[in-house]
């Protein structure tokens, strides 16, 4: 990447360089009008008053954020307490997303390393096998997981036939099912960036460490992991960020009790029972969390030697 | 020497974990595929091989609903792909052929913004936008939203390929009195084509697969395949859903395979500077 930028600084690319603005304008316009402005508008909506049939009244209000953080009783006249319902949903989402990241890392790192150390011919096949599920419809993958693990599903059926369990193993509609769904949804996102980092790793370093009497695990810990760290961090972010705002896994696998941020937000816009300013506020809080993670990533990238 | 190198490179158990990873990724999909051929309407017990549920998808009581949804999905995906790929190709040339300028990384961030913002946030923001400007949600709002989030998926493979193509080809064309359009159309585009096709295929799959954003901006009455499937799954997983899922799964696999294959063939062609 750095080499490419260096190479492009000269007269290189003069044929189309003058058209830069005209070439980039359509993408700026499309994304600016249909994403940047909408996100700013969402920020505005989070400070408006709710309309009872869905939508908003154009009147400034802090009610959405107030409802999120504080409990003033049913009629708003009791002493102010912290409202834990929504904070807890966010905490649960952060915990679930963190756990999914850890599990994906535990399986994804060895997988990526194993693939990167295969001969070039079989490496391509492995990579292809990891990439395919990445592109298969997330809804269908989540439905497949639901089908597999429900009480009357094939997994329980086989376990009972094999005599391993006598009662169906109840996973569906629990936090464990949501965790399994997140892990399963985003596992390929972990493998691919780590693979890219390990593939560029210079294994002469490993031999040098070996010559200096480091054993395999010391080499892994002191040499390999520090060098491929950017890939590991990229993988963690690619799993953590979509897990945090996931909707399908908590909705289809978690049932009504195991709410995550995504389901909370979705509910505010469903039919007339919703609360648009509250949904916009919850989305803003989610977006802020994601921006914090991305800024942390950008800083750790820029600090790289 | 090399055998020592190979030995210290490998860690015990990593191969097993890699195999576990593949099994975890494929097992649920394979099981749904197998059970979609199950004769028995009780979807857990195996009642013999049959194509009943595939026939049901095309002729059963819900088939007209699914046909309309499939048509919406495919037509939206086609138009979103054409729109997003055109915009992304122009953007990729603008970004990779312009040297350094202030705001370039901002421009890069803007083009890739749709993958960085969580999908649910994009969905909410887009719904609010269409509602605020009084734009009726339906087919057109779905299409516009799809074009936006398809842009980065089309952009990345096209830009990656452009970085590997030396600009001397189009410069030579300009030196030989080609117009810039001719230099693009007859020189750059043919070399770039594998990247454009990969990008377009990925944009098509991403559009075809989208559930969350579509579900927010579809309004009442318009369904795509994923929203129709989601609605049906809420009533319980019936065997015809597994048959549709299997068909969609095969379409995705087909597209990824073609995209991957084109990418490989493209990389092998001689004009791309090898690293």
Interval B228-238 mean pLDDT:
88
Tens of pLDDT along A190-249? 999 999 899 888 888 888 888 888 888 888 888 888 989 989 998 999 999 999 999 999
Helix axes B63-96, B225-234, angle to 10 degrees: 130
Q: Please, what is the average pLDDT of chain B?
A: 87
**Better-scored residue on pLDDT, A288 or B63:** A288
Q: Which residues contact B9 (CB under 8 A, 6 or more apart)?
A: A117, A203, A206
Q: Please answer yes or no on whether B29 and A136 come within 8 Å at the CB atom.
A: yes
Q: Say if A43 is an interface residue toward chain B (CB within 8 Å).
A: no
By DSSP bridging, strand A70-71 and strand A81-82 are antiparallel
**If pLDDT is split at 50, 70 and 90, which confidence band does B259 have?**
confident
Q: Say if A158 is an interface residue toward chain B (CB within 8 Å).
A: no
Whether A275 shows a pLDDT value over 60: the answer reads yes
Interval B196-213 mean pLDDT:
92
Of the candidates A7, A23, A11, the residue with the CA atom closest to the CA atom of residue B180: A23
Concatenating the DSSP letter of every residue in chain A gives -HHHHHHTTSSTTHHHHTTHHHHHHHHHHHHIIIIIHHHHHHHHHTTEEEPTTSSEEEEE--HHHHHHHEE--TTS-SPPEE-HHHHHHHHHHHHHHHHHHHHHHHHHHHHHHHHHTS-HHHHHHHHHHHHHHHHS-HHHHHHHHHHHHSTTSHHHHHHHHTTS-SS----TTSHHHHHHHHHHHHHHHHHHHHHHHHHH--THHHHHHHHTT--HHHHIIIIIHHHHHHHHHHHHHHHHHHHHT--HIIIIIHTTTS--HHHHHHHHTSTTS--HHHHHHHHHHHHHHHHHHHHHHHHHHHT--
Q: Please answer yes or no on whether A187 and B21 come within 8 Å at the CB atom.
A: yes
Please check whether residue A23 lies inside any domain of the structure.
no
- The residue with tokens 């970085």 is B163
Concatenating the DSSP letter of every residue in A254-299 gives HTTTS--HHHHHHHHTSTTS--HHHHHHHHHHHHHHHHHHHHHHHH
Percentage of chain B exceeding pLDDT 70: 91
Tens of pLDDT along B26-45? 999 998 898 888 887 766 67
CB A224 within 8 A of CB A210: no
Chain B residue with Cα closest to A246: B120
CB B210 within 8 A of CB B76: no
Whether A30 shows a pLDDT value over 80: the answer reads yes
Please check whether residue A26 lies inside any domain of the structure.
no
Tens of pLDDT along A110-167? 999 999 999 888 888 898 999 888 888 899 999 999 988 888 788 888 888 887 777 7
Please check whether residue A37 lies inside any domain of the structure.
no
Please check whether residue A7 lies inside any domain of the structure.
no
Return d(Cα B169, Cα B190) in angstroms, integer. 11
Query: With the C-alpha atoms ordered A226, A304, A103, A193, is the resulting torsion angle positive or negative?
Result: negative
**If pLDDT is split at 50, 70 and 90, which confidence band does B270 have?**
very low
CB A276 within 8 A of CB A51: yes
Please check whether residue A179 lies inside any domain of the structure.
yes
* Alpha-carbon torsion angle A47, A51, A53, A55, nearest 10: -40
Please check whether residue A240 lies inside any domain of the structure.
yes
Whether B113 shows a pLDDT value over 50: the answer reads yes
Tens of pLDDT along B128-161? 999 999 998 999 999 999 999 999 999 998 998 8
Chain A residue with Cα closest to B148: A31
Q: What distance, in Å, lies between the first and last C-alpha atoms of chain B?
A: 26
pLDDT of residue B223: 94
Q: Please answer yes or no on whether B22 and A129 come within 8 Å at the CB atom.
A: yes
CB B72 within 8 A of CB A5: no
Distance from CA of B57 to the nearest CA of A (A): 16
CB B198 within 8 A of CB B206: no
Would you tell me which residues 203-222 of chain B have a C-beta closer than 8 angstroms to some C-beta of chain A? 205, 208-209, 211-212, 216
**Better-scored residue on pLDDT, B268 or A300:** A300
CATH number at residue A241: 1.10.3720.10
Please check whether residue A284 lies inside any domain of the structure.
yes
Q: Please answer yes or no on whether A5 and B24 come within 8 Å at the CB atom.
A: no
Q: Please answer yes or no on whether A111 and B114 come within 8 Å at the CB atom.
A: no
Distance from CA of B159 to the nearest CA of A (A): 12
Best probe of the A interface among B28, B91, B142, B244, by most A CBs < 10 A, is B28
Domain limits for position A280: 50-303
**How many separate domains does chain A show?**
1
Please check whether residue A246 lies inside any domain of the structure.
yes
Distances (CA, A) of B65 to A95, B218, B220: 39, 15, 14
Distance from CA of B43 to the nearest CA of A (A): 8
Return d(Cα B121, Cα A139) in angstroms, integer. 18
pLDDT of residue B50: 82
Interval A94-112 mean pLDDT:
96
CB B94 within 8 A of CB A19: yes
Considering only A68-77, A194-203, B251-260, which range has the smallest mean pLDDT? A68-77
Tens of pLDDT along A166-190? 777 788 888 999 999 999 999 999 9
Return d(Cα B102, Cα B275) in angstroms, integer. 28
């Amino acid at each position: 990447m750095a080499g490419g930028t260096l190479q492009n600084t000269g007269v290189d690319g003069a044929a189309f360089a003058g058209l830069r603005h005209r070439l980039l304008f359509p993408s700026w316009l499309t994304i600016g009008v249909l994403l940047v402005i909408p996100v700013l508008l969402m920020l505005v909506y989070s400070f408006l008053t709710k309309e009872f049939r869905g939508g908003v009244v154009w009147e400034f209000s802090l009610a959405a954020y107030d409802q999120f953080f504080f409990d003033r009783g049913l009629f708003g006249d009791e002493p102010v307490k912290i409202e834990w319902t929504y904070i807890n949903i966010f905490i649960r989402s952060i915990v679930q997303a963190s756990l999914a990241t850890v599990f994906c890392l535990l399986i994804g790192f060895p997988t990526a390393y194993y693939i990167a150390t295969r001969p070039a011919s079989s490496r391509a096949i492995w990579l292809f096998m990891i990439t395919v599920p990445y592109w298969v419809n997330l809804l269908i993958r989540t439905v497949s997981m639901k089908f597999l693990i429900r009480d009357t599903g094939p997994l329980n059926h086989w376990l009972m036939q094999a005599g391993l369990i006598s009662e169906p193993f109840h996973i569906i509609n629990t936090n464990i099912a949501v965790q399994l769904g997140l892990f399963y949804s985003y596992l390929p996102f972990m493998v691919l960036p780590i693979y890219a980092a390990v593939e560029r790793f210079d294994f002469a370093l490993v031999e040098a460490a070996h010559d200096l009497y480091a054993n395999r695990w010391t080499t892994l810990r002191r040499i390999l992991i520090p060098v491929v760290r950017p890939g590991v961090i990229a993988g963690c972010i690619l799993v953590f960020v979509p897990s945090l705002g996931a909707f399908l896994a908590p909705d289809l696998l978690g049932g009504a009790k195991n709410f995550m941020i995504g389901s909370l937000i979705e509910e505010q816009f469903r039919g007339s029972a919703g609360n648009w300013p509250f949904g916009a506020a919850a989305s803003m809080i989610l977006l802020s969390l994601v921006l914090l993670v991305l800024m942390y990533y950008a800083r750790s990238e820029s600090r790289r030697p | 020497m090399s055998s020592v190198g190979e030995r210290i490179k490998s860690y015990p158990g990593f191969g097993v974990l890699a195999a576990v990873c593949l099994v975890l990724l494929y097992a649920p999909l394979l099981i749904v595929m197998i059970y979609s051929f199950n004769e028995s309407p009780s979807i857990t017990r195996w009642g013999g091989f049959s194509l009943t549920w595939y026939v049901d998808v095309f002729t059963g009581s819900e088939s007209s609903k699914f046909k309309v949804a499939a048509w919406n999905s495919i037509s939206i995906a086609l138009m979103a792909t054409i729109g997003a790929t055109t915009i992304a190709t122009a953007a990729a040339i603008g970004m990779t052929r312009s040297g350094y300028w202030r705001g370039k990384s901002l421009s890069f961030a803007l083009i890739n913004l749709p993958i960085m913002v969580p999908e649910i946030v994009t969905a909410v923001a887009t719904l609010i936008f269409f509602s605020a400007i009084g734009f009726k949600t339906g087919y057109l709002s779905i299409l516009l939203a799809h074009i936006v989030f398809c842009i980065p998926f089309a952009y990345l493979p096209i830009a990656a390929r452009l970085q590997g193509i030396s600009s001397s080809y189009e410069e030579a064309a300009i030196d030989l009195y080609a117009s810039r359009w001719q230099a693009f159309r007859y020189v750059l585009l043919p070399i770039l084509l594998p990247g454009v096709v990969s990008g377009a295929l990925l944009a098509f799959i991403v559009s075809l697969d989208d559930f969350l954003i579509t579900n927010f901006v579809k309004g009442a009455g318009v369904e795509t395949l994923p929203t129709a499937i989601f609605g049906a799954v809420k009533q319980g997983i019936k065997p015809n859903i597994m048959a549709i899922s299997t068909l969609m799964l095969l379409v995705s696999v087909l597209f990824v395979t073609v995209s991957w294959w084109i990418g490989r063939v493209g990389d092998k062609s001689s004009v791309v500077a090898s690293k």
